[in-house]
Amino acid sequence: MKSLCRLVGCSKRQSDGFGPASKFYPQMASAMALAVALCVSNVAIGQSSSSPATEAGQTDGASTGPPRPNIVWIMSEDNSADYLRHFDPMGAPAPNIEAMANHGITFDHAFSNAPVCSVARTTLITSCYGPRIGTQFHRRIELAKLASGMQMFPAYLRQAGYYTTNQSKEDYNATPSRGVWDDSSKRASWKNRPGDDTPFFHVQTDAASHEGRLHFPESDVTQKATVTDPQSVQLQPYFPDTPLMRYTRARYQDQMMVIDDGVGRIIRELDAAGQLENTFVFYFGDHGGVLPGSKGYTFESGLHVPLVVRVPRQFADKVGRSLGSRTDGFVQFVDFGPTVLSLAGIQPPAFVDGKAFLGDSVDPAEVDARDEAFGYADRFDEKYDLVRTLRKGNFKYVRNFEAFYPDGMQNNYRYQMAAYRQWRSLYQAGKLNEVQSQFFRPKSVESLYDLDVDPFETHNLAGDPAHAAKLLELRSRLMDRLKGMPDLSFVPEAKLVEQAMNDPVAFGQSHQEYIAELIDVANLALLPFADAQDRLRKAIASDDAATRYWGVIAATALGDPAASLTDDVADRLQDSDPLVVARAVEFMAVVGGQDARASLYGALAKATTDAEALQILGTAVFLRDHTDGRFPIEIDKIKLMFDPPAKGEVQRRLDYLGS
C-alpha cells in the first residue's frame, strides 16, 4: 500500500504564489499586488496639542501629536473575559481597565481563534488562521515557514516608519520574517525610539495571570489568604463546589487585579511622556483561561477574551464611535493586525484572513453586524485532540473529530494545578454530577449550544429536532471554511513536518481537493452507521494511508454501531503506516473490546520521528486511562528507535506512562 509520506508528496507544489482564491481566504496574487497593498496612506492628522482627559491614576498633561497614531497592546496571559467585572458582574474589579473603557470602546464579543498561547499569538502576529498556514500545533515540533511575500504585520509598520517593540514574549510557531521588531526583549520600550516624532507600536505582555500562578500547593487554601473572598465567587456549574475550587477562582481574580495595576502603570507612563492622547491602547487577554477546562479547549472559556481599546483624543475621528460605548460585533485575533495597520493608515496585505474593526475606512455599523467567530484546537503540548468550532450569533457549533478522547485526557502541565487533580479524583470516585462529569467522558461528534440560555455549554442541542436546521446550517458553514482554507490538520502532523513545513500554504493549495476528500471521510462519523458503512469499509481498505487513517477514526467515533467493521479494522493492525495502526488499536479497544496492545508497541517501535511517536503515545495514554483499566500500558515494552529530547513532549508522555 502507498505510504502517507509518498502520497502527500506526490502532487506538484505551486512555486509562484498561491492557488485559486476561495470566498473565505483571499490569497496573494503577485509581488505587485503586495506592493500596492503596502502603500501607506497619505492622510496626516496634523493636530496641535490637546489636553489629555484625567483617568484613574494619571495626571493632566499636553502634547503635540505625530501625524499618525501610536498603538500599544497590553496582553494579559491566559484569561477569559468573565474574570473581569467590566465583562461579568462576578469578575474582579479593574478600575484602570474600566477607566480605559470610559475613554474608549469595549468589545463584548472578542475572540481568540485558538485557546492556547503559541497558536493564538501566531494568529495575532500573522493575521492568518493557524490551520491554513501550518501554525496550529502547541508546542511546535518544527517552525512553519511563511509563504513567499508574507510578513508578520509589524514589519509593515516598520517599513512605514514606525518604531516597533515587543516586551517580550513571542512564542510564535512560524519562522519570523525579517524586520518585524526594532527590539524584542525584556528591555524593549517605545521610549527608546529614535525621535519624539517617531510613531511607535509596542506590545507588552503581563504574565501575572498566567496558568502557572495557580500551581500552588493545596495547603495554601488554609495558609495563604486571598483578597477576594472565596465564598463570594461564582463557580461555573461544571466545577465541583469545593473549598479548593473556590479558593482557586478567588486567587485568580486577585491576579486579575495585579494585571489591572500593570495596565494603570502603562497608562501613567504614556501620560507622563505626553503621548497618551496620541496613542490607541488595546487591553486584551491572549486567549481564554485559566481555571480547569478553559485554556487549551474551544469552550467560550477558552476563546472569549476581554478587549478594551482606549481611544486618544487626538485621533478620535478614526473610530466613528462615542467614547465609553460598547459593541456586540464579533472581532477575532485575525482582525487585530489589520486593525493596527488600518489605524496607521496602511492598507492590510491581501493574504491575511482578518479585516480591520477600527480605522478611517471602517464602517462601525458593519463591525456591529459581524456575528461569526472561528475556533480551532489541535495538539496542546503532548495531547492531541482535533476540534473546530463556529459561533454565529448566540449559537455555537462544535465538531469533535476525535470524539472518543475525553477533554480530561492527561496533559502533564495542566495537572500541576491542584484544582485539576481534585476535579479528576472526584470523578474517579464517582462524586460528580452529570454536568461536572462531562469533562472526563467521551464527547459527542458534534455539538450545538444556544449560548443565550446555556453560556457554559453543558446542554447539547445537536440531537434536538427543533434545532436541526440550525445544526445543518452551521455544520455546512464550518465545512466550507475547512475545505476552502484548506485545513492542514487533516494531514497528520508527522506528515506535515516531513512534507509541508517549508511552505505550508503552497502545500495546502496544491492538496486542497485531497484534503477536502479527507474531511468527507472524517465526516462519515456524522451519518447513521447504515448510511456510512459501505463508504467506511472502502475508506478503511483504501490504498491511501490518510484515507485509511480517517476511515478508522470515523468508525471509532461511531462507537458500538460500527462493530461489524471489526474484521476490516483488524487488518489495519498490520498496516504499513504506524499512525494507522494506532488508530486501529483505538477502535479495537473502544468498539471491538479487544486487546491490541502488541500492535501498539509494534507501531511505536516503527515510529521514526518525534511527531509520529508522540501521536502514538497519545493512544497509549488513552488506553491506560480511559478504557476502565482493561488495557494497562507496560512501559518496558515501549521501545523507540531514537532517543527523544530530554524535555520534549515525547519524554513527557513516557514519564507519565512510567509513573
> Which grid coordinates are listed for 507?
502545500
Q: Is residue 151 part of a domain?
A: yes
Instruction: Select from 369, 387, 414 the last residue of a domain.
Output: 369
Per the document, the length of the chain is 659
**Confidence at residue 67, expressed as pLDDT on a 0 to 100 scale:** 83
Q: Is residue 514 part of a domain?
A: no
CB–CB of 490/515 below 8 Å? yes
Asked if the model's pLDDT at residue 58 lies above 90, the reply is no
Q: Is residue 180 part of a domain?
A: yes
d(CA 549, CA 580): 5
Rounded (10°) angle between helices 545-558 and 578-587:
10
Strand partners, 205: 75
Task: Enumerate residues 6+ apart whose C-beta is below 8 A from 487.
Answer: 131, 132, 388, 481, 515, 519
Q: Is residue 602 part of a domain?
A: yes
For the chain, what percent of residues have pLDDT higher than 70? 90
Q: Any idea what DSSP says for residue 605?
A: H
Q: Which domain holds residue 175?
A: 70-213+254-369
Task: Enumerate residues 6+ apart whose C-beta is below 8 A from 638.
Answer: 601, 604, 617, 620, 654, 657
Taken in order 353, 356, 361, 363, is the CA torsion positive or negative?
A: positive
Q: How many Cβ atoms are within 10 Å of 267's Cβ, its own excluded?
A: 27
Sheet with 446-450: list strands edge to edge.
Answer: 372-380, 383-392, 395-400, 446-450
Q: Is residue 177 part of a domain?
A: yes
Q: Is residue 99 part of a domain?
A: yes
Mean pLDDT of 282-306: 98
Q: Is residue 209 part of a domain?
A: yes
Confidence band of 138 (pLDDT split at 50, 70, 90): very high
**Confidence at residue 593, expressed as pLDDT on a 0 to 100 scale:** 95
Confidence band of 51 (pLDDT split at 50, 70, 90): very low
**Confidence at residue 177, expressed as pLDDT on a 0 to 100 scale:** 84
Question: Residue 588: left (phi > 0), alpha (psi -120 to 50), or beta?
Answer: alpha
Asked if the model's pLDDT at residue 148 lies above 60, the reply is yes
Confidence band of 507 (pLDDT split at 50, 70, 90): very high
**Confidence at residue 437, expressed as pLDDT on a 0 to 100 scale:** 98
Confidence band of 62 (pLDDT split at 50, 70, 90): very low
SS (H, E, C) 123-159: HHHHCCCHHHHCCCCECCCCCECCCCCCCCCHHHHHH
Q: How many Cβ atoms are within 10 Å of 155's Cβ, its own excluded?
A: 19
Instruction: Select from 312, 339, 369 the last residue of a domain.
Output: 369
> Which grid coordinates are listed for 53?
482627559
What CATH number is attached to the domain comprising 173? 3.40.720.10
**Confidence at residue 66, expressed as pLDDT on a 0 to 100 scale:** 55
Asked if the model's pLDDT at residue 401 lies above 50, the reply is yes
The 10s digit of each residue's pLDDT in 17-33 is 222 333 334 333 333 33
d(CA 21, CA 29): 9
Asked if the model's pLDDT at residue 192 lies above 90, the reply is yes
> Which grid coordinates are listed for 252?
485568580
Task: Enumerate residues 6+ apart whose C-beta is below 8 A from 32.
Answer: none
Asked if the model's pLDDT at residue 478 lies above 60, the reply is yes
Q: Is residue 380 part of a domain?
A: no
> What is the chain's mean pLDDT, rounded?
91
Instruction: Select from 346, 369, 392 the last residue of a domain.
Output: 369
Give the pairing type, strands 372-380 and 163-167: unpaired
* Number of domains the chain is built from: 2
